[in-house]
Structure 1
Amino acid sequence: MGRVSQPLLVLATHNQGKLSELRALLDGAVPGLDVNTQVVDAGAVGAPDVRETGVTFQENALLKAREVAEHTGLIAVADDSGLAVDVLGGAPGFLSARWAGKHGDDQANLDLLLAQLGDIEDPEHRRAGFVCAAAVAVPGGEDRVHMGELSGTLLREPRGAGGFGYDPILLPEGETRSCAELTAAEKNAISHRGKAFRALIPDLVRLLAERV
């Protein structure tokens, strides 16, 4: 087994919330793996920001995982996620983060989507869901991708101060609170990203066990 301080797995993001979630899912799953030092984010190992040139969540997640794995020589995990609205034929989809034109402008994206659906009042016609693809890639080796979804209904105005992106306007099935009104633990338990990462864990455990 290598030194505890040596990274073994890199998450292709600079988002510390995603890193904490992945560490929590892996904690205790792989004997000998120190999740606090051996599971790191892209910034910790100088991994590049990868352009999302794919046209599906799966393609973009795999693109990021493969490129970061090759650049770092580490097993890499990446995800791509977004909101799919039924009456928009699944849009914004993989364009969710740049729906209003500028990547990452959450407020502009949310405002534009609400305006586009402004005349649609029937909740059944405001069905939507978050979708996430989570991928793992081994340098020069195999890769895997798993999907997770969270279905619900779009509210007519934002509610809640938590989360990010479209969280304030998605009311999950069976809930009376928006995603932005849930606690982090409540959201992770039902979220598209949590489901996708949990589905990926058996692959990660197997691949990491070969290196620990």
Structure 2
Amino acid sequence: MKIVVATHNEGKLVEIREILADELGDLANKIELVSAGSLNLPDPVETGVTFQENALLKARFVAQRTGLPAIADDSGLIVDVMGNAPGILSARWAGKHGDDEANLNLLLAQIEDIPDDDRTARFRCAACLVEPITSEEDTADYRSGDDFDDGDGMEDVRETVVVGEMPGTIVRHPHGTNGFGYDPIFLPDDQPLSAVQNGELLTSAEMTPEQKNAISHRGKALRALVPAIRDLVENE
């Protein structure tokens, strides 16, 4: 079964494959993951006001254009004292999308005077699976290379949306070079046993990919999506 991941980041496919292999065992071998980027699909405009809405928007966009099941996620940082900002604006908090350093520095400046005990935050991720039921004609058109009808051929659809969170606090200075975004200033509540024993707690950017993935908001959300994926594959 082919499932499209609504992303242009091939690294995200690797992460999802690993999770499916861990959770589904041999059943994962029946799934072929492909990215929206590999199919030359553009990114949709994210007009949702929540992570759930944007994740659904992206998955629906891909499913409607391919006639295939689609997985999508949307995530960001929520800082309690900032009224849950930057939230869905996390990637463009300083004005330019994807400028990690500018976003991070602006956030630190905005909460500079906030006491350590009040710098609580959490990463949140919404993940979804959209399973379209399309007419055979429209699906055949797409697979033959013709343009897929933007939804007119969509007869029915099943949608599953789940949420994962990673709680923590915002430290005052960046630490670590792994990860991306706000990872250097985010100190997860869940820590590797070795870090706790050594008394040296790690930011997300100081953790190995394996340590971070085990506790991350995206990992939790994707694992929560596994039962719906299992049902899809088993009932193909």
Deviation at 1:192, TM superposition (A): 0.3
* Superposition map of 1:98-177 within 5 A: 98-120=92-114, 122-139=115-132, 140-175=156-191, 176-177=201-202
SS of 1:138 mapped into structure 2: strand
Going from structure 1 to structure 2, the CA distance change for 1:51 and 1:58 (only over 3 Å counts) comes to: same
Partner SS for 1:48: coil
| Greater C-alpha radius of gyration | 2
Q: Is the 8 A contact 1:8 1:208 kept in 2?
A: no
C-alpha distance in 1 between matches for 2:28 and 2:100: 36
Question: How high is the TM-score relative to the length of structure 2?
Answer: 0.82
Say whether 1:180 aligns with 2:205: yes
Give me the TM-score of the superposition, normalised by structure 1: 0.91
5 Å-filtered alignment, 1:173-212, equals 173-175=189-191, 176-211=201-236
Query: What is residue 86 of structure 2 aligned with on the other side?
Result: 92
SS of the counterpart of 2:127? Answer: strand
Q: Provide the rounded CA distance (Å) in 2 between the counterparts of 1:186 and 1:128.
A: 19
Hey, what does 1:74 align to over in structure 2?
A: 68
8 A Cα contact 1:151 1:172, kept in partner: yes
Instruction: Give, in angstroms, the shift of residue 156 of structure 1.
Output: 0.4
Q: 1:30 Cα shift?
A: 6.8
Residue 24 of structure 1: how far off its partner (Å): 0.9
Residue 4 (structure 1) aligns with: none
Q: 1:10 to 1:158 in 2, by over 3 A?
A: same
Distance 1:32 1:89 in 2: 42
Query: Aligned equivalents of 2:68 and 2:49: distance in 1?
Result: 26
Q: Deviations over 1:126-163 (max 9, x none)?
A: 00010000011012411111000000010101100000
Q: Distance in 1 between matches of 2:213 and 2:128?
A: 18
Q: What are the within-5 Å matches in structure 2 for residues 43-54 of structure 1?
A: 43-54=37-48
User: What percentage of residue pairs aligned between the two structures are identical?
Assistant: 56
For residue 53 of structure 1, give the secondary structure of its aligned residue in structure 2. coil
Structure 2: gaps (5+ residues): 133-155, 192-200
Whether the aligned pair in 2 keeps the contact of 1:48 and 1:68 (CA below 8 Å) is no
Deviation of 1:51 after TM superposition, in Å, equals: 1.2
Structure 2 residue aligned with 1:65: 59
Question: Residues 71-100 of structure 1: CA distance to partner in whole angstroms, max 9, x if unpaired?
Answer: 111110000000000000100001101111
Deviates more, 1:17-26 or 1:163-172: 17-26
Give the superposition deviation at 1:14.
1.5
Separation (CA, whole Å) in 2 of partners of 1:117 and 1:129: 15
Runs of 4+ in 1 over 6 A off after TM superposition: none
Tell me if the contact between 2:190 and 2:215 (Cα under 8 Å) persists in the aligned partners.
no
- The two structures, once aligned, show a CA RMSD in angstroms of 1.6
The residue matched to 1:195 in structure 2 has which SS? Answer: helix
How many residue pairs match? The answer is: 203
Does the CA-based 8 Å contact 1:30-1:209 persist in structure 2?
Answer: no
Letter in 1 for 2:53: E
Question: What amino acid does structure 1 have at the position aligned with 2:29?
Answer: D
Measure, in 2, the Cα distance between the counterparts of 1:11 and 1:43: 9
